[in-house]
Structure formats: C-alpha cells, structure tokens
Amino acid sequence: MKSMELGTKEYPYKNIGLPFVEILNYHSHNDHNITVKVKDDTRNFLLRKVAYIVNITQVTLETYSNDEKPCYADIIIKEQDVVMITSKSKFNIMKHVTLRLLSVLNQENMHSDEYETGMQ
C-alpha cells in the first residue's frame, strides 16, 4: 500500500470524496470536462455532503483497471462516519478538505434558482 495520496493513478486518493472537494473548490463555474477515475474491484465510501458539483460542464466517474478482466468499483454513499484523510498516508496533497460551498454558491454568476437547489 502506498503512503502518498496525490490523486493520480500511481498515488491515488484513498477516499473518493477528495476529488469532489477539488471539483467544488477549484472547478466550479468552469467549462470543464472532468473524469474521476476509480480503481476497479475497490469499495469506496462517499460522504453525501461532500459530493457537490456546481456549474461544471461534465463530471464522469470511470473505473480503471490494471487487469485484463476488470471489475466494477463499489461506491457507497454514507451520511456520516467517513474519514476523508487517513492516518495511514504519510503525505496527502490535500491539506484542507473544507468545502467552500457558500463561497461557490454566492458568486455573482449564480441564478437564484440554482442557489436554492444547491442549499437543499
């Protein structure tokens, strides 16, 4: 098991919620097509209140494999008890996992209908 988390295939995040923190905090209100790659045959827990996608052209979750016969990854949505940054990693490129949801929703280019939907 690798002790670094960089969000790459070689050093992936150990929590699938971390790409969603990046997506919200750094890619909202952009014409981006983003692909989140999830290792096949893994079980991933996603905290529901982390998975916000705001005003991005497209976000795709895709399974990848190193094997010839790949299996799908499992993504389990939970309401609580999901550790974002594990103590097993010696280095994680994400220093802060605080979502900037209110800041993203309060931008001038947000329509009031979009804001109300985002706050639910």
Q: What is the dihedral of CA 32, 95, 106, 110, to 10 degrees?
A: 10
Residues of the chain with pLDDT under 70: 1, 108-120
For the chain, what are the domain ranges?
4-115
pTM given for the model: 0.77
- Nearest CA-CA partner of 82 in 7, 24, 13, 4: 13
Amino acid 80: pLDDT: 92
Amino acid 102: pLDDT: 87
Amino acid 74: pLDDT: 92
- Residues β-bridged to residue 92: 5
Amino acid 57: pLDDT: 92
Amino acid 60: pLDDT: 93
Amino acid 115: pLDDT: 55
